[in-house]
Amino acid sequence: MAAIDSFGIDRLRTRLSKSAVILTPDTEGYQESLVRWSDTGRKEAGIVVQPVGYEDVSTVVRWATEHSIDIAVKGGGHSTAGTSSSEGGLVIDLSRMKHVSVDAAEKTIRVQGGATWKEVDEAGAAHGLATVGGTVNHTGVGGLTLGGGYGWLSGQYGLTIDNLLSAKVVLADGSQVSASPTQSQDLFWGLRGAGYNFGVVVEFKFQAYDQSPLVYSGVLAFPPEQLEKVVEVLNSGLANPDARSGAMCIITQAPDGSGPMIVVICFYNGTHEEGEARFADLLALTPILNTLGMIPYSELNTLQNPQATYGDRKSFKGVFYEPPLDTNFIRGVFDDFVAKVNSDKDLIPSAIILEFIDMRKICEVPLSQTAFASRNMTQNGILVMRWSDASKDLDHRNWAREAQKKWKTELDARKRNSLHKNDVPQYINYAEPGDSLVDNIYGANLARLQEIKAYYDPRNIFHKMHPIPLPATGTLEK
């Protein structure tokens, strides 16, 4: 990678709009621009550019390619592996491009590439609308969307990409294209599940839906001895699905440090009476904490925020299971996790988050319709390790990898007795780059993705997040 000289930066400055910001190690605001959700994602960039318009993004991409400078794109900055950062290279920081506009008549939402789901949730709610967004509202719209996107509304409307109507993209040569079912269809196909590989998406257009201002949601907490009963009830919910309902089961430490607890976030897109009936069996277990009630929809995706705060060192390890989740297996997982946390109190903020989502709508979409490779009934989860001591990075990550492997072993054993074909069980947004438990995260879609990659980004400019290996030969016919 070429060094970044001051003369080159001065030339770039003259080509950008006056409101765009350039930050280098010797300028005010540079250190703040390096902050990421996890300290493990922080890298010392050679230059950070904060564009304010699509032409700025085109200019920056052209400049970087002309000078052979490594490019990273930062939206929400939630990658624990540092894919939104570049050591010594260029970061295109989209944080000044976060405008959201709603067409209430058309029921669509346009979102700039630097927005977070907070802006989308609040803008939509102001018009009685919502789309499928992330379950932590300070997550970036771009990263979640380009990898598929699960949310509380997935049971009703599918993945975030299933509600993506179009996108504006700055390609590796700096040109701007629109991708949709009628424009650059091959690119539009690839964006939906492998989108980080093709360019900088500067605008998304989503389908939105009428949404009641209030939904039934909140948190239940249970003592550890009720783990099996809680999981049995949640398994029953998957066996008797309701598209308007979803839940997350979280193994974590009590806020007062008194020990482990089981937290369940419940959601029902309906009335208080309907929600209470849906979760009656959980309520019958007499939780030690119960905050369930009617809350504004725009607050739904804040329920994990108290735990998913910025700071510390973090590692994501995606886990997955074929329902019903085996209660003996999860008890073993719980015991191993608690023993690990007890061995180092620095790990107390860590958690295991397991999703219980109605997958039927997601599975209605044929696997070949988008690049997203894991449309199946497998449920997702995350092992979130969080600590502060950098000297423990290798130890904690190695432990997490071994814990993750146990989930894969359990799934493989269950698959032998299952009718569900499940070649790619791992959700790509929960798989740290280079650390996936599957050999090919793109499954049967890889060959087509390689052709699209070779056409739109033959020099592999965009390679940070689950890079698509370029084919040895072959070209894409448009």
Tell me, letter by letter, the H, E, C secondary structure of 235-247: HHHHHCCCCCEEE
> Has residue 439 got a pLDDT over 80?
yes
Q: Is residue 476 pLDDT above 80, yes or no?
A: no
State the pLDDT confidence band at 475, using cuts at 50, 70 and 90.
low
Q: 57: closest CA among 107, 100, 91?
A: 91
Q: Where do we find the tokens 């975030």?
A: 160
C-alpha distance from residue 424 to each of 172, 300, 420, 435 (Å): 29, 29, 12, 14
DSSP assignment letter at 456:
H
Amino acid in the structure at residue 433: P
Q: What are the pLDDT digits (tens) for 85-119?
A: 999 999 999 999 999 999 999 999 999 999 999 99
- Residue 456: CB atoms within 10 A of its CB come to 24
Q: Where are the alpha helices (DSSP H) in 202-279?
A: 227-239, 272-278
The rounded distance, in Å, linking the Cα atoms of 273 and 270 is 8
> For the chain, what's the residue count?
478
Q: Measure CA of the first residue to CA of the last residue in the chain; give whole Å.
A: 32
With tokens 């989930």, the residue in question is 407
For residue 418, is pLDDT > 70? no
Domains of the chain, first to last: 6-95 (3.30.43.10), 100-210 (3.30.465.10), 214-430 (3.40.462.20)
CB 248 within 8 A of CB 354: yes
pLDDT digits (tens, 9 = 90+) for 328-376: 999 999 999 999 999 999 999 999 999 999 999 999 999 999 999 999 9
Q: Using CA atoms in the order 310, 316, 320, 324, what is the torsion angle rounded to 10 degrees?
A: -40
Q: Which of 405, 189, 203 is nearest to 318 (CA)?
A: 405
Band of the pLDDT at 256, cuts 50, 70, 90? confident
| β-pair partners for 415 | none
Of 95, 134, 102, give the one whose Cα is nearest residue 118: 134
* Residue 276 DSSP symbol: H
**What SS3 class is residue 32?**
helix
Q: How far is CA 327 from the centre of its chain?
A: 27
| Secondary structure letter of residue 40 according to DSSP | G
Residue 420: is its pLDDT beyond 70?
A: no
Q: 424: helix, coil or strand? A: coil
How far is residue 320's CA from residue 354's CA, in Å, rounded to a whole number?
Answer: 8
Average pLDDT score over residue span 444-463: 97
pLDDT digits (tens, 9 = 90+) for 47-94: 999 999 999 999 999 999 999 999 999 999 999 999 999 999 999 999
3-state secondary structure of 465: coil
| pTM as predicted | 0.96
- Measure the CA–CA gap between 319 and 251, rounded to whole angstroms: 13
Q: pLDDT per residue over 193-205, tens digit each? A: 999 999 999 999 9
- Provide the token pair at 403: 């814990």
* Nearest CA-CA partner of 8 in 54, 62, 71, 85: 62
Query: Cβ distance 327 to 226 under 8 Å?
Result: no
Pairing of strands 164-170, 176-179: antiparallel
User: Please, are residues 267 and 300 in contact by the beta-carbon 8 Å criterion?
Assistant: yes
CA-based nearest residue to 149, from 351, 362, 422 = 362
Measured CA angle at 296 (ends 290, 298), to 5 deg: 115
Specify the pLDDT at position 421. Answer: 63
Q: Residue 5: pLDDT band by 50, 70, 90 thresholds? A: confident
Give percent of the chain above pLDDT 70: 97
Tell me if 376 sits within 8 A of 438, measured CB to CB: no
Tokens found for residue 3: 């060094």
> How far from 204 is each of 72, 101, 120, 143, 171, CA to CA, in Å?
19, 11, 11, 12, 15
For residues 217 and 292, is the Cβ–Cβ distance under 8 A?
A: yes
Burial of 160: CB neighbours in 10 Å, binned 0-12, 13-18, 19+: buried
Q: What is the mean pLDDT of the chain?
A: 95
Predicted confidence at residue 478, as pLDDT, reads: 44
Q: Which of 356, 212, 229, 226 is nearest to 274 (CA)?
A: 212
State how far the Cα of 220 lies from the Cα of 289, in Å rounded to an integer: 5
pLDDT for 257 equals 78
